[in-house]
Amino acid sequence: MNKILIDTMHIVSLLINENNSYYELSQALDDEKITGVVSVVTLTELIKILGEKIYMEKINELVSLNIIVADIDQTIAIRAGELRMRYGLPTGDSLIAATGLIENVKHILTDDAHFNAVKNLIKPIKLNTALKMVR
């Protein structure tokens, strides 16, 4: 089964049902056509992005989806530091990318251009590409 690391902004869109494409992604996750992986860093970012009134409800929804929420351990922290040093990724994104690498994920669903710096390690893809992978 394909694993995809999902960057925070796509998790936000998935949780607020932004459009039919995200419904299709949600179905693919539920039907286990794909395994979604997120870093616990995404939980931190979600609270800031979603705001005080709805963040807890949405985090509970995220946990109920068929998504692996990967904790950060010493191995991921060290790998993130290496990515930050070598490729200049911001700390949060270094932790997210390192999570994918340690979880043996080949693709990251993201619109953030700075992940292109690590495209030889984990390939950035757009939503339409992710959906093609599950069809």
* 7-35 per-residue burial string, b: 16 or more CB within 10 A, e: under 16: bbbbbbbbbeeeeeebeebbebbeeeebb
Please check whether residue 71 is in contact with residue 40, taking contact to mean a CB–CB distance below 8 angstroms. yes
Task: Give the domain extent around 105.
Answer: 2-134
pLDDT of residue 85: 98
Amino acid at 78: I
3, containing H or E segment: strand 2-6
Per-position pLDDT tens, the chain of length 135: 789 999 999 999 999 887 889 999 999 999 999 999 999 999 999 988 998 888 888 888 888 888 999 999 999 999 999 999 999 999 999 999 999 999 999 999 999 999 999 999 999 999 999 999 988
Query: Quick one: pLDDT at residue 37?
Result: 97
Retrieve residue 50's tokens.
């979603």
In this structure, the number of other CB atoms found within 10 A of the CB of residue 128 comes to 8
Q: What total number of domains does the chain contain?
A: 1
Report pLDDT for 63: 82
Q: What CATH number is attached to the domain comprising 65?
A: 3.40.50.1010
Q: Which stretch of DSSP H or E encloses residue 26?
A: helix 20-30
Task: State whether residue 117 is helix, strand or coil.
Answer: helix
User: How far apart, in Å, are the Cα atoms of 85 and each of 14, 47, 79, 108?
Assistant: 31, 27, 10, 20
pTM, to two decimals: 0.93
Q: What is the pLDDT of residue 18?
A: 72
What pLDDT score does 9 carry?
94
Residue from 24, 30, 34 nearest 2 by CA = 34
Joined together, the tokens standing for residue 100 give: 């994918």
